[in-house]
Each structure stands twice: as C-alpha cells, then as structure tokens.
Structure 1
Amino acid sequence: MQPLFREIRDTPLLWMLVFVPVVLVAEATVPESHTLLFVLAVVAIVPLAALLSHATEAVAAKTGDAVGGLLNATLGNLTELIIAITALHAGQYMLVKASIAGAIVTNAMFMLGACLLLGGVRYHVQEYNRAGARLSSGLLLMATVALLAPSAVADLDHLPPGGNIIHKLSIGISVLLILAYALGLLFSLRTHKELFEGAGHGDEKEAHWPIGLAIGTLLAVTVLVALVSEIFVESVQKAAESFGMSPAFVGFIIVSLVGAAAEFAVAFAAARKNRLDMSVSIALGSASQIALFVAPALVLLSYVVGPKPMDLQFWPGAVTMVMIATVTASFVTTSGRSAWFVGALLILIYAVFALTLYVVPPAGEG
C-alpha cells in the first residue's frame, strides 16, 4: 500500500479524493439537495478518474507492450464508460449520446488544442510522430462517417415507422466499429508497431507498483466511480435546470471534461516537456476510442441494461460538431509540426461549440 499512499501524497489532484466519502454521506443524508450532490459528484469523479488512470498504467507496465497497450486503449475511457452505462440504465439517452459526441469533440479539439498551446508557449516549434496521428485521425474519420449514417437516413420518407430500421443499422455499424477498433490495435501494437515508437509512454514511476496493488486499486476505484456516477446521474437533471443547462450541454461539456480530467493532466504535462508525441497520441487516440469502442459498446449494452434499445442517431448539431472536429483535427495534425497559435484556434472552435450548445440546446431540451 505504500506506493499508493505515496502517489496520493505527491499528487495534489488526488487530494480531492476526500470528496468521495463526502458525496456518499451527502447522498445518504440530504438526497433532495440535487445541486449540492451534482457539484460534489463532479468534484469526486475527477480524482477517481486520475487514480483509475494511474492504476491502469501500473497494470499495463507489468504486462508487456502488447497487452499493456491493449489495456491502456481499452480502459483509457473507463470513467466516461461507467458514467454512460449508469445514464443508460436510468434511460437518459440524451445524456448518453451527448457524452459520446462531447467526448469525441473535447478530446479532438480542446485537449489537442490545449496541448499544442501549452507546448507552443514554451517551445517555438514542436514536432511529433505523424504516423500515430494519421492512424488515430483515420480511425476517427471512419468512425465519424459511420456515426453519421443513422442520422443521415433517419428522415427518409420511405423508411417504415417505428424505428426498427435505425436500430438494426445501429447494431450493424456498432459491430463494424468494434472490428475497426480491433484491427487498429492489431496494426499499431503488433504488425506495424515500429511506426509508433515515437508515441508517448506511460509515467515510469507507475511501473514500480506491485501488480496486486495495481489490480486491487483498479477494481476498488471502478466500484467507487460507479457509485459516484449513480449519484451524478440521479442529480444531473434537476441540478442542470438550476444552472440553466440542458442535459445535452451537461453531457457534451461537463461529463466530457470531468471524465477526461486524468488524461488532461498527463497530456498537458507531456506537452510542456516537449513530448508532443504522447500528447497527440492521448488526445486523438482517446477520441477515436470513444467513437470506435465506447459508442458501439453502449449501443449493444442498451439491450441488456437499458429500458429500451439505444441507437446511433444523434441530433443534427452534434453530427455537425463531430464532423467539423474530426476534419479539423485530421487537417491540423497532417504536418507533424505545430506552434501555439494552432492550439489557440482549436480551443476557440471548441468554445464556439460550447457557447452554441448552451444558448441553443437541441429541440425538446430547451
């Protein structure tokens, strides 16, 4: 347990773990204080996501490159996945879809832009491995096209009523996306891994965690994230109303930013150390993972844990923002070189998206 306590002591972000018991006690004593529970849950999820990331890195460091890379790729967005599954079980499909679209846009625009800005302020020009950026951008573009299909055909006149065609299409696309995700892992971790050697590596001190402690921490934190996520989902609707936010805005912006807090910390620190390979890999890799794995997994899980099946039909604004973010990220990373101004532009585009969604929520959410 000493490595875990040392990690908590040396990482200020993990000091916020004190809010985990606070939110659990608050939920038991003042269950009607939805705004308070919402704020406490958001604050508690941030350090849990960071600790989950540390535990994942520690397990990955003990299992070798191939298995470790697979674990990192699969568990990298576990926080967002748990929140989405909880919302799925509660039938809040707008929140789920908003969190999917928001996670893609947040990672591809805000995280990437902030990394380029932070690194560019310290270094005049930065370079990174274009192979990794091209792979993630290509996968993300393929996934975005696939996610657009149900929304594109949903309003066709000749479709039979009831939505069964959209559900069938969503299932088929989900299977194809997971297949593309598996092929991407095979390509980057096995058959052509030499192309990605410049990509970022995990923090070395994580490798010193004993495997038993790492696995135990991973399991314990996953349970805690699930408990706090349930409180978050139960309080989000009424709390959002008190803040003047729609569920779509909460999912698109708040859930995405909170769930990726740990990845932000790692990516930003790497950019400041001129390790832009790692930053770009985290940002685009996480965005493509959401689109290729998390979104289709939630569609398939909805048949088991949801009150009704969920499809991949997003509202038009989400479709537009995801496509713009994907194309912009692909265009920006094609050169393998960057300066601070590029990052600033990406952040401003993300701010335009957030402002638009806050002022003009989707139809029926205002």
Structure 2
Amino acid sequence: MSHILKAVRETPLLWLLAFVPVVFAAEHFAGHSPTLLFVLSVLAIVPLAAMLSLATESVAAKTGDAVGGLLNATLGNLTELVIAIAALRAGEYMLVKASVAGAIVTNAMFVPGMSFLLGGLKYHVQEFNHATARVQASLLFLATIALMVPSLLHRVDAVAEAAPQFTGQLSVGLSVLLIVGYALGLLFTLGTHREFFASGGHHDEDEAPWPIGLALATLVVVTVIVALVSEIFVASAQSAAETMGMSRAFVGFVVVALVGGAAEMASAFAGARKDRLDLSMGIALGAASQIALFVAPVLVLLSYVVGPTPIDLSFWPGAVVMILVSTLTITLVTTTGRSAWFVGVLVLMVYLVFAITLYLLPPSNTATGPV
C-alpha cells in the first residue's frame, strides 16, 4: 500500500482519483445532469487508467519490453473494451464503431507521434527496433483490408439487397479470421522469431517496481472500477455530446479514444522520455493492431450475445480512409528505426487533420456513419 500512496503523492495526475467517489455520488444525487456526469466520468477514468499503467509497468519490468509492451497494450485496451461493451449493451452502435476506429487511429498516430516528440525533445535522435513496427503495421494493414471489404460491399447495389444478412455473415467470418491472424502474429513475435524483436535503448536500473502481488491486485480492482465508471460515461455521452455541440461519432473517435487510451499513453510517453522507444512503439502499435484484430472482432461476436441486434464490420468510408492513411503513415515513418522530434510533429499533424475534420463535419447519427 505504501507504493500506491507514494505514487499518488508523486504523480499529480493521480490526484484526480478524488473524482471517482464524486462521480458515483453525482450519479445518485444529480442523475438528471448528463453533461456533469460526462465530465466527471472522464476525470475519473483518466487517473484510473494511469493506475493501470503504473501497475502494468511493474509487471512489465519483469518480462522485458516486448512482452511488457503487449501486456501494457492489452490492459490499456481493457478500458476501451469495457467502454465499448457498455455502449454495445446500450445499443449505441455509432459510438462503438467510432470508438473502435478512433482507438486504432489514436494508437497508430497520436501515441507514436507524441512519443517521438517527447523523446526527441530530450534526446537528439532515438532508435528503436523497426522490425517490431513493421510486423505491427502489417497486421494493421490486414485489419484495414478486412474493414474495407464489408464497408465497400455494403454500398454495392447487388449486395445491399441481401444486407444486412450478408454483411452480418461476412463480418462474423472476417472476425474469426482476424482473431486467428492476431494469435499467429503473437506466436511469430513472442515465440518462433522472438530474437528479431529484441529491445534497444537505455533502461533505468534505479526503477523500483511494485511487488507483483500488489500490481496484480491493483489491476483487478481498478478494472472493476473502470467498468462501473464506464457505464456512467456511456449513459451520459449522447446527451452531453449534443449539449456540447459534438456528435456521437466525434465523441467516440476522439474523446473515448483519448480517455480510454490514457493508460497506454502514460506508459508510452514515459518510456520515450527514458529512451525506451521500443516500449513506446510496442505499446502504441501493439494497442492499435490489438484493437483492429482482436477487440473489434470480439465486439462483433459479443453483439450476438449482449447487444440488442448484431453489429458488423461495416464502417463509414471516412473511417476506413483514416485507418488506411494512419497505417501507411506509420509504416513510412518507422522504416528507418530512428526518430526525432520533428517526425513526431508531422505524425501529430496528420492526426489533427482527422480530429478537426470530424469536429467540423461530424458524421450523421446513423448506424454506420456518413456515406
């Protein structure tokens, strides 16, 4: 417990944990104010995600950067998965799809870009294992193709007549295929060819990770609390978005992605500042490929159990284009295995183009977004 108290004292972001009981109290006494609940739930989720990050770093310290990056990405995505499942149960399919697309783009663009920038401000040039980035980018490209096919065929006249049965069946088949592809990718990078994905950079030997028991207990408790706060977040998101002049698509693509990804962002940015760019890239691209090849397919399959109606992999064309551009951009900037602060600026600029466009030209409130 002393480790947690020390972390709270030394990390101003964790002071926001005070909003966790506040949001539950507000739900009970001020449930008629969606905007207030929305803001409070965001302020509560961010420090909870940071707690997940600290606990995960302690576990990752015993596994190395490759496995640690995967673990951090997985537990970071757990927040986004919980939020997406809550939205799925509520029938907020626009929010679900926007959050999935936004999480992919955010992890593929915003997190690496900010990591390059923050690390580059401290180190003149940083190096990382480009083989890891190449494999993750290849997995992202596979996922992009799987998203493009149902999204494009959904608008073909001959297919539209058979929709939604055709789209639903295709989405289930592609979901199973993507999950298999993701599992084989893990086998390749962590099993049969793990020697090609060794970490570089400097490691801080003075770091004092939490005891493994404390770290695992923190992960369990915080995950449960995140699930409860996520229910409040999703329930208030639609009304709050309308009040603030934002569409559900913008909330899902930008707000949910940034809030839900706070855990991996905190770890990735800290890793970049410590010249552990392999860890940062493993977290960022690992999270992006995991969402595209695992989280999205799992949501499709879960929708047959927990959703009002099944959801499919048919996204609006703009989302597919953004995912494709993000994949191509990160592939381009990671080919050399070297980075500097200006590379981060360029990547962030591309992400901001997407965010500004969605804010000014929000998708319509339909199941799949704008045409």
Match of 1:81 in 2: 81
Q: Partner amino acid for 2:128?
A: Y
Name which of structure 1's ranges 344-353 and 10-19 shifts more when overlaid on structure 2.
10-19
User: Structure 1 pair 162/154, CA: closer, same or farther in 2 (3 Å)?
Assistant: closer
Match of 1:107 in 2: 107
The 5 Å alignment of 1:24-43 reads 24-43=24-43
Q: Partner amino acid for 1:94?
A: M
CA shift at 1:200, angstroms? 7.8
User: Structure 1 pair 136/194, CA: closer, same or farther in 2 (3 Å)?
Assistant: same
Match of 2:264 in 1: 263
Match of 1:6 in 2: 6
Mapped contact 2:49–2:76 kept (Cα < 8 A): no
For 2:5 and 2:182, locate their aligned partners in 1 and report how far apart those are by CA, in whole Å.
35
Match of 2:338 in 1: 337
- Determine what percentage of the aligned residue pairs are the same residue: 64
**Partner SS state of residue 195, structure 1:** helix
1:322 aligns with 2:323: yes
Mapped contact 2:55–2:216 kept (Cα < 8 A): yes
User: Structure 1 pair 118/55, CA: closer, same or farther in 2 (3 Å)?
Assistant: closer
1:241 aligns with 2:265: no
CA shift at 1:64, angstroms? 9.0
For 1:172 and 1:64, locate their aligned partners in 2 and report how far apart those are by CA, in whole Å.
35
For 1:247 and 1:270, locate their aligned partners in 2 and report how far apart those are by CA, in whole Å.
32
Match of 2:211 in 1: 209
For 1:208 and 1:219, locate their aligned partners in 2 and report how far apart those are by CA, in whole Å.
15
Q: TM-score with structure 2 length normalisation? A: 0.92
CA shift at 1:220, angstroms? 1.4
CA shift at 1:199, angstroms? 5.8
Q: Partner amino acid for 1:83?
A: I
**Partner SS state of residue 76, structure 1:** helix
User: Structure 1 pair 202/54, CA: closer, same or farther in 2 (3 Å)?
Assistant: farther
Q: Partner amino acid for 1:103?
A: A
User: Structure 1 pair 68/332, CA: closer, same or farther in 2 (3 Å)?
Assistant: closer
Mapped contact 1:127–1:337 kept (Cα < 8 A): yes
CA shift at 1:9, angstroms? 2.6
Q: TM-score with structure 1 length normalisation? A: 0.93
Match of 2:251 in 1: 250
User: Structure 1 pair 117/171, CA: closer, same or farther in 2 (3 Å)?
Assistant: same
For 1:200 and 1:148, locate their aligned partners in 2 and report how far apart those are by CA, in whole Å.
37
Name which of structure 1's ranges 172-181 and 335-344 shifts more when overlaid on structure 2.
335-344
Deviations 1:86-140 (A, max 9, x none): 0000000000000000011111111111111222223222221111111111111
Name which of structure 1's ranges 155-164 and 319-328 shifts more when overlaid on structure 2.
155-164
For 1:306 and 1:174, locate their aligned partners in 2 and report how far apart those are by CA, in whole Å.
16
Unaligned runs of 5+ in 1: none
